[in-house]
Amino acid sequence: MKYLYIFILLFIVGNARATTGGDTLRLSLQDVVEMAKRNSIAAKQATTVRETNYWKWRTFKSNYQPQLSLSGILPGYSKTTQQVLQPDGTILFQPVHNDNSSLQLDFSQSITATGGTVYGTTSMQRFYDFDRHNQFYNGVPYAIGYSQPLFQFNALRWDKKIEPLKFNESKQAYIESQEQIAITG
């Protein structure tokens, strides 16, 4: 029993010491600067601006990559009624019940030196008339071409020179903002 009282007394004294020294937080200057960099509004704003500029850079880079897209209407089901002019001048309403589905694959690649675009496409279309039980197909096995704007500003060429400078400038602005936060933090 005596040992239990001693143990409880030591536990209470230990807790008293822990609570009196627990509300004091000792920080070095480096710790304060790091807390300011993590928690200040200016730091969060600088991080957001940096991420925005990064995604602008990625978007710029994607303009020079081949583009591939798939589009289609699957199924293109339609059930309507349309008016049909009769030889005697009257109008007769006829039901139209069909499926007009299509699928198209497109490819394009920008050419920086000229500002033009090389492109290719292929497509397939299926039409089925449910009322008359007619089925038709139409397709373009392939089509290729080159589109070249004449007497126009070549934005691709100039962007390739300007955008890397803008991206480097944004990285330097982020570093500068982090230093400013450390000074004012």
The answer to whether 102 and 136 are in contact (CB under 8 A) is no
First-to-final CA distance of the chain: 56
Give yes or no for residue 174 having a pLDDT over 60. Answer: yes
CA–CA gap between residue 126 and residue 139 (Å, rounded): 9
Q: Are 148 and 116 in contact (CB under 8 A)?
A: yes
pLDDT (tens digit per residue) in 113-153:
999 999 999 999 999 999 889 999 999 999 999 999 999 99
Is it the case that residue 160 has pLDDT exceeding 70? yes
Q: Is 166 exposed, middle or buried (0-12, 13-18, 19+ CB in 10 A)?
A: middle
13-44 pLDDT, tens per residue? 666 555 555 567 788 888 877 877 778 888 88
What is the rounded CA–CA span in Å between residue 75 and residue 130? 14
Distance of CA 124 to the CA centre of its chain: 29
Model pLDDT for residues 75-125, shown as the tens digit of each residue: 889 999 999 999 999 999 998 899 999 999 999 999 999 999 999 999 999
Instruction: Sort 46 into a burial class: Cβ within 10 Å, 0-12 / 13-18 / 19+.
Output: buried
Q: How many other β-carbons are positioned within 10 Å of the β-carbon of residue 181?
A: 19
Written as six digits, the tokens of 105 are 């694959």
